[in-house]
Chain A
Amino acid sequence: MAGWVVSAVLEDGLLALNRAIGIIRRRQLVLTRFRAGPGGEAGTAHLTLVVEAERGAVERLAAQLRKMVGVRAVAVRPEEALALRELLVARVAVGRGARAALLDLLALYNGCLVAEAADEAIVEASGSPPLLTSLLRALEPFGVLEVARSGPVGVTRAHAGLPASAGPPVDRPRLAAASA
């Protein structure tokens, strides 16, 4: 099943977010990743969903979101059309003699140490969601004590236009595209 990124610009506030989440929940789509954060403009919030579903189902979700009061714009793009990035922060155990190995691993993933104590360290890394999942697996032998992931943010790749629509040619006003 293809992954689709649905990006919605909402009016800032929990009410619009609550309503948008309700619309998404009702459609029972498989959400693999989810993020809500501040939007590009003041007074807006940004909702990014990565959905695994048929394109038609994702387009229907977008159509329902578009007509919601408090939604400014919604865009649907295939996952590969976006450079999706995520931040990971983890607290890991650092046993005797393991510090060098941890630093080597972080170097491999372009990560870094945020803080250190005698027997544990806080590490951070950013990158594509699969890359961070891979890092997390690599950290497991050290002993992962706590993990936080930001959820995906992204922008459209250059020349990554949408593939031809699978849906019917619907005559509807074009909405401003939203970045993810």
Chain B
Amino acid sequence: MPEILTGAQLLCRLLEEQGVEVIFGYPGGAIMPFYHALPEYPRLRHVLVRHEQAAAHAADGYARASGRPGVCVATSGPGATNLVTGLATAHMDSSPVVAITGQVPRGMIGRDAFQETDVIGITLPITKHSVLVEDIAVLASRVREAFAIATEGRPGPVLLDIPKDVQNQRIEWSDPLSGAPRGPGIAPAGPAPEREPALRQIAALIAEAERPLLLIGHGVILSGAYAEVRALAEKTGIPVITTLLGISAFPDGHPLHLGMPGMHGEVHVNRAIQHADLLIGIGLRFDDRVTGNPAGFAPRARIVHIDLDPAEIGKNVEVTVGVVGDAKTIVARLAALVEPRRCDAWRAEIQGFVRTRQETYRGGMAPEAILAGIHEVTGGRCTIVSDVGQHQMWVAKLYPYVHPNSHITSGGLGTMGFAVPAAMGVHFARPDLPVWAISGDGGFQMNMQEIATMVQERIPVKMAVFNNGYLGMVRQWQQFFHGRRYSATPIWSPDYVKLAEAYGIAGYRVEQARQIEEAVARAMRDPGPALVEFLIEQEANVFPMIPPGGSLSEPIETEPVAAAPGQ
């Protein structure tokens, strides 16, 4: 039986059809018809954020934790432009976000109307697709396309710009809507026969290599290829390196796991890459934070690259064999093709590269002690969402990740302010698991307004702030490369315990290592959001460090005695 729906009502129906359960958004003039219709669709939980950037990050966090598209909504003009950083973050890290923006009525477009921006034009380079819905007649197909495009192949954000008058248009609607999401599936049923020669070639390269390495990235998490990668590693004994976004794709405590490579990778990890004769890259893009200077990257190695995105193969490093496809399917087939082998001598050689560092921290407040405290109290059953900066590197390297996809961070764009709102999204994807948002004092202050969202919407995210009174990573660069000129990096913070109190949530300050576990435990016991401030060493550095543009063979392992400014 056909019924008459407005564009806004139809949009809500379509969101339900796509299986959307939560929307992060902020109302405004051009999106008001949608918000008028929304209460008629109680299956769509709306979370009112305090800034649209947080809506995009929360949708991103939801998408990364659930594997399903995250949805954010904003009005036209400033609402839409505030989404931009979040969309760029999702784009760089291949996260399926669907952003819906209101637009001024069609007749006003192009006339510099109040709160009009060309959000399609603004977001073209930072979305997988963005499109104006020009009439209610195409609304259903545009929404379905948006969800399909966001998730199929290499995921990414899609923006739908819907003029206010299209939201108010009426349509006779009789499409049988089901609750099941629509859209094409992404993974092919099995490896295409034409891939077989390439996979056999890779199997032969593995058989003849003396120093092979597996280098795994976000693609392994996106395709859920954990068991397949593990099977390949265990059958061949090849050591496994996880990129920043590949962390938790392979268990940290596994004897074959080496750690994170690149700019802040441990010496033995980078040295292994420089000594390797075969690198098998799976679901990563060999970005400059991984390779350092690409000319000096893995000079002895032949590189195999398996990725879903053909444009990534050969983009940043020259490869011997490239295979385009879903990691799960490809690696499963590769694991079946390879002959069992061991890499004992090579692993022993890598073990010889390991360097131990002894650093002392005021009050014993070592990053590893804080992270060990969180791990101890949560039993590892939580999702860690980190922000960007020094703490991000500590969180990446020092927390023992066991469960797949338990580490979420902004890798490609490196967006400060990501952790707190993204953690809200993670909560909705995993409501039964604790979420810790770990930030520095700089990044935390970029989006700490979202504590109000957590209070109003009852989102029990636990927040940790590593407070050193500096924009620590920038300060470290200033110390190493700019003659210690700490320009604009000292940063004042409010009293975070009082801030927590002002928002009506639990707040704790930790100044001594012995207080860590107690504070974390109290935060965990509190049913709502909680904030724990960790006062850490002011001028602690992240070691080792490859200088920007430098070779992985030349890490900085101690503080430079003197550095010329502007190097």
Contacts and interface: CB of A to CB of B under 8 A. Distances in A.
Contacts of A59: 314
Interface of A: 15, 18-19, 22, 26, 56, 59-60, 63-64, 66-67, 69-70, 167-173
A64 B125 CA distance: 12
Given A18-B121, A69-B129, A171 B324 contact: yes
Contacts of A171: 194-195, 197-198, 321-324
Given A168-B319, A169-B321, A171-B198, A69 B128 contact: yes
A83 B566 CA distance: 52
A171 B313 CA distance: 10
Interface of B: 120-121, 124-125, 128-129, 131-132, 149, 153-154, 194-195, 197-198, 309-311, 313-315, 318-324
Given A171-B194, A171-B322, A60 B124 contact: no
B537 to A, nearest CB: 41
Contact of A167 (B129, B198, B314): B314
Given A168-B319, A169-B321, A169-B322, A19 B124 contact: yes
Given A15-B120, A15-B131, A67-B311, A172 B318 contact: no
B309 A170 contact: no
A69 B154 CA distance: 12
A170 B129 contact: no
A60 B125 CA distance: 16
A132 to B, nearest CB: 33
Chain B CB within 10 Å — which of A69, A171, A172 has the most?
A171
Given A15-B120, A69-B129, A170 B320 contact: no
Tell me which of B131, B310, B319, B320 has the highest count of chain A C-beta atoms within 10 A of its own C-beta.
B310
A135 to B, nearest CB: 38
30 contacts: A15-B131, A15-B132, A18-B121, A18-B124, A19-B124, A22-B124, A26-B125, A60-B311, A60-B315, A63-B311, A63-B313, A66-B310, A66-B311, A67-B153, A67-B310, A67-B311, A69-B149, A167-B314, A168-B318, A168-B319, A168-B322, A170-B310, A170-B313, A170-B314, A170-B319, A170-B323, A171-B322, A172-B310, A172-B322, A173-B324
A170 B318 contact: no
Contact of B311 (A22, A64, A168): A64
Given A15-B131, A67-B154, 5 more contacts: A168-B321, A169-B321, A171-B321, A171-B323, A173-B324
Nearest to A170: B322
A70 B145 CA distance: 12
A56 B314 CA distance: 9
A22 B126 CA distance: 11
A15 B131 CA distance: 8
A56 B120 CA distance: 30
Nearest to B310: A172
Contacts of A18: 121, 124
Contacts of A69: 128-129, 149
A168 B313 contact: yes
A55 B261 CA distance: 30
Nearest to B145: A69
Contact of A172 (B149, B153, B320, B324): B324
Contacts of B128: 69
A172 B319 CA distance: 14
A110 B131 CA distance: 46
